[in-house]
């Protein structure tokens, strides 16, 4: 009695079974592995069949594995194309630039053991360490860095950080060339005209378009990481997904990368700075913070972010609250006003609104202590930060007086002030607080204008569409006041979007940019910052904090304010370790 129905049922069951059952098989079949080997210096891609041994469960007492949660899978791990925190976290383990940063955010030698500027800081020469190698034994030579910098500028690559090397002479002409209009030879000619040259195997020279005594700090950035030309060419567009092509010169080696699941690194025993203390480092891409929190409590993760969603729960717990690390980050946020639009084209009005902003309450009540108040743009810990700044501290009476002085007898005369922000639930609550604060302290009428996030970004790009009042922020690219002041607030730079332009500020910045004496430089930047503060373009409100939960058996972390992905990511790569005994004792495994 095999009716049609039975056949259908059987087919469906068969289909479902063929899909479900393979998941139940143990994984121990032969696997094809692709590697790049060198025969007389030329790379060849070979494929061999290896019997995959089932992954051994890490036993305590043997391997030190640091498991870190990242909030998303990196979109691309390519030194010359990446731009997001997570991507950079991967790159900085696998590669190393000419210089690096220590726990005080100072620039120290990396692959280069020293560097020299010429008289007016328009040329810089890097001298590489002797005998440094990639993790596969190939020597690291100066031409590798030349390749990296030229590739950064290459319009055929067009990474989002391309512009940062435009200070090298010839880079901008090369970088902005029209790829569709010019032939490869012409583009290559422009590339060769870029003024960065390997003078010999250990010497790299470059010429800058203007005096830039901070350039050695810029050369610690990921755009200078010496990715392997032959591997990029062998691997094609998706070279970066395969660990065999990501052979770098950093303290770790990328062992495996499973998109949206995890990325695994193992220690590089041939790193010049010594083999890292931890054997393996694993990034888990867990998108939801609550899930990551559960995993952390379940001892499946060693480090996770302590976000506002789980802050209360964690801090209320006697054990977890001890594992929290909350430190200021190198980021500043401000509520800015459009300097070219009424009523904020009147400085007194801007001052009124700035004086009426209660930063302490904001950090305490809204940011739940995951932020610290600030009155200036440069964050604490960075050279150029001035602890003596007191301009525009919270003073609601002075605020109201300023408003009267501006000619507005009563706050109603100002009309409606529109405050714009990305429409997310978190920001909704924050901006309602801001609206209430200004309404209470100043008596003005605030209208809230939530906008879809990507639309918001598009709006803020141009001075004509930029909102009347909105949030601005900056997370530094590199720890130098030049990146905070000159890159952001000079006429024509980012600050231009709110109509800020002060020639005096530009003048001082230009002086500071080229000043070779470090102390004089810092003083000049502080002077420039005072000009900015006294112009009162808006209210500088808070420095955000980096907040993490770290298991007590993780040792050797030196936090820097730039640790946006994981604590110790910049200064603790070789020192971070796991205390296996403590871990065994705590987890009872």
**Shortest Å, Cβ 87 to another protein:** 10
Site for another protein in 62-121 (CB under 8 A): 69, 73, 75-76, 78, 81, 83
**Shortest Å, Cβ 587 to another protein:** 12
Rounded to 10 degrees, what is the CA torsion of 472, 478, 482, 483? -30
- Backbone Cα Rg of the chain: 27
Question: Which segments within 75-213 are labelled E, that is strand?
Answer: 99-101, 107-109, 112-117, 123-128, 196-200, 203-207
Binder among 103, 113, 143, 172 for another protein (CB under 8 A): 172
Q: What is the DSSP letter of 538?
A: E
Binder among 324, 340, 459, 530 for another protein (CB under 8 A): 459
- Is 527 strand, coil or helix? helix
Binder among 155, 381, 450, 499 for another protein (CB under 8 A): 155
- The whole-angstrom separation of Cα 402 and Cα 552 is 52
Binder among 10, 31, 50, 179 for another protein (CB under 8 A): 179
Rounded to 10 degrees, what is the CA torsion of 56, 58, 60, 64? 130
Binder among 2, 4, 131, 588 for another protein (CB under 8 A): 4
**Shortest Å, Cβ 356 to another protein:** 23
Contact of 94 with 254, CB cutoff 8 Å: yes
Contact of 353 with 359, CB cutoff 8 Å: no
**Shortest Å, Cβ 24 to another protein:** 5
Count of residues that interact with another protein, criterion CB under 8 A: 70
- The whole-angstrom separation of Cα 124 and Cα 112 is 12
- The whole-angstrom separation of Cα 369 and Cα 326 is 9
Site for another protein in 295-354 (CB under 8 A): 295, 297-298, 300-301
Q: Is 158 in the site for another protein (CB under 8 A)?
A: yes
Nearer to another protein, 275 or 297 (CB): 297
The H or E element spanning position 255 is: strand 252-258
Residue 240, class by beta-carbon neighbours within 10 Å (0-12 exposed, 13-18 middle, 19+ buried)? buried
Give the tokens for residue 508.
Answer: 């001082």
Q: Is 309 left (phi over 0), alpha (psi -120 to 50) or beta?
A: alpha
Site string for another protein, 402-441 (x = CB under 8 A): --------------------x-------------------
Q: What's the sign of the alpha-carbon dihedral 269, 274, 278, 280?
A: negative
Q: Is 285 in the site for another protein (CB under 8 A)?
A: yes
Q: Is 473 in the site for another protein (CB under 8 A)?
A: yes
Give the tokens for residue 234.
Answer: 């062998």
Binder among 55, 119, 184, 185 for another protein (CB under 8 A): 55
Q: Is 461 in the site for another protein (CB under 8 A)?
A: yes
Binder among 95, 357, 392, 456 for another protein (CB under 8 A): 456
Q: Is 127 in the site for another protein (CB under 8 A)?
A: no
Q: Is 191 in the site for another protein (CB under 8 A)?
A: no
- The whole-angstrom separation of Cα 16 and Cα 371 is 52
Nearer to another protein, 182 or 584 (CB): 182
Q: How far is the CA of 423 from the CAs of 46, 318, 450, 457, 513, in angstroms? A: 51, 35, 5, 12, 38
Interface with another protein by CB under 8 A: which range of 107-115, 285-293, 355-363, 515-523? Answer: 285-293
Q: What's the sign of the alpha-carbon dihedral 524, 526, 528, 530?
A: negative
Nearer to another protein, 543 or 574 (CB): 543
Q: Is 292 in the site for another protein (CB under 8 A)?
A: yes
Nearer to another protein, 41 or 425 (CB): 425
Q: Is 27 in the site for another protein (CB under 8 A)?
A: yes
Binder among 36, 89, 286, 417 for another protein (CB under 8 A): 286
Q: Residue written as tokens 């890292």?
A: 276
- The whole-angstrom separation of Cα 107 and Cα 116 is 14
Binder among 126, 147, 385, 474 for another protein (CB under 8 A): 474
Question: Which segments within 191-233 are labelled E, that is strand?
Answer: 196-200, 203-207
Give the tokens for residue 151.
Answer: 């590739």
Pairing of strands 99-101, 107-109: antiparallel
Site string for another protein, 480-519 (x = CB under 8 A): --------------x-------------------------
Q: Is 294 in the site for another protein (CB under 8 A)?
A: yes
Site for another protein in 246-275 (CB under 8 A): 258-262
Chain residues that interact with another protein, rule: CB under 8 A? 3-5, 8, 15-16, 19-20, 23-24, 27, 55, 69, 73, 75-76, 78, 81, 83, 155, 158-160, 162-163, 166, 172, 175-176, 178-180, 237-238, 240, 258-262, 284-288, 290-292, 294-295, 297-298, 300-301, 422, 452-461, 472-475, 494
């Amino acid at each position: 009695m095999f009716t049609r129905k039975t056949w259908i049922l059987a087919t469906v069951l068969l289909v479902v079974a063929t899909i479900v059952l393979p998941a139940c098989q143990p994984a121990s079949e032969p696997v094809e592995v692709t590697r790049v080997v060198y025969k007389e210096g030329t790379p060849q891609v070979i494929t061999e069949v290896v019997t995959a041994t089932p992954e051994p469960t890490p036993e305590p007492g043997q391997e030190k594995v640091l498991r870190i949660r990242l909030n998303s899978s990196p979109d691309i791990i390519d030194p010359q194309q990446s731009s997001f925190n997570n991507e950079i976290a991967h790159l900085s383990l696998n590669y190393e630039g000419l210089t690096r940063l220590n726990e005080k955010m100072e620039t120290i030698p990396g692959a280069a053991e020293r560097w020299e500027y010429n008289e007016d800081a328009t040329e810089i020469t890097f001298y590489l360490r002797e005998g440094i190698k990639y993790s596969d034994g190939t020597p690291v030579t100066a031409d590798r860095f030349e390749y990296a910098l030229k590739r950064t500028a290459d319009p055929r690559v067009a990474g989002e950080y391309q512009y940062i090397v435009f200070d090298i002479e010839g880079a901008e002409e090369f970088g902005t060339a029209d790829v569709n209009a010019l032939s490869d030879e012409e583009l290559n000619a422009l590339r060769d005209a870029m003024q960065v040259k390997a003078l010999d195997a250990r010497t790299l020279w470059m010429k800058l378009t203007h005096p830039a005594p901070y350039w050695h700090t810029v050369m610690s950035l990921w755009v200078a990481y010496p990715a392997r030309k032959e591997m990029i060419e062998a691997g094609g567009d998706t070279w970066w997904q395969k660990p065999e092509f990501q052979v770098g010169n950093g303290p770790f080696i990328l062992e495996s990368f499973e998109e949206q699941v995890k990325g695994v690194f193992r220690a590089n025993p041939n790193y010049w700075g010594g083999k890292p203390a931890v054997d393996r480092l694993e990034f888990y891409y867990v998108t939801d913070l609550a899930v990551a929190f559960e995993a952390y409590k379940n001892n499946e993760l060693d480090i996770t972010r302590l976000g506002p969603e789980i802050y209360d729960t964690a801090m209320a717990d006697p054990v977890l609250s001890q594992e929290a690390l909350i430190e200021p980050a190198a980021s500043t946020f401000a509520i800015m006003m459009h300097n070219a639009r009424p009523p904020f084209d009147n400085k007194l009005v801007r001052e009124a609104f700035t004086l009426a902003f209660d930063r302490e309450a904001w950090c305490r009540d809204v940011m739940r202590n995951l932020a610290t108040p600030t009155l200036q743009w440069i964050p604490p810990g960075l050279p150029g930060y001035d602890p003596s700044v007191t301009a525009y501290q919270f003073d609601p009476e002075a605020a109201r007086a300023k408003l009267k002085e501006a000619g507005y007898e009563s706050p109603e005369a100002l009309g409606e002030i529109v405050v714009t922000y990305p429409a997310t639930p978190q920001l909704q609550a924050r901006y309602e607080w801001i609206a209430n604060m200004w309404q209470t302290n100043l008596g003005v009428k605030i209208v809230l204008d939530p906008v879809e996030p990507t639309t918001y970004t598009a709006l803020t790009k141009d001075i004509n569409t930029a909102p009347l009042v909105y949030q601005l922020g900056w997370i530094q690219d590199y720890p130098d006041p030049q990146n905070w002041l000159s890159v952001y607030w000079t006429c024509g730079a980012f600050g231009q979007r709110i109509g800020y332009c002060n020639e005096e500020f530009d003048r001082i910045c230009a002086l500071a940019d080229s000043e070779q004496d470090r102390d004089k430089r810092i003083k000049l930047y502080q002077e420039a910052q005072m000009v900015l503060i006294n112009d009162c373009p808006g209210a500088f409100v808070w420095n955000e904090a980096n907040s993490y939960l770290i298991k007590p058996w993780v040792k050797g972390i030196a936090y820097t304010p730039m640790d946006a992905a994981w604590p110790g990511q910049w200064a603790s790569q070789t020192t971070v370790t796991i205390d296996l005994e403590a871990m065994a004792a705590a987890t009872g495994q």
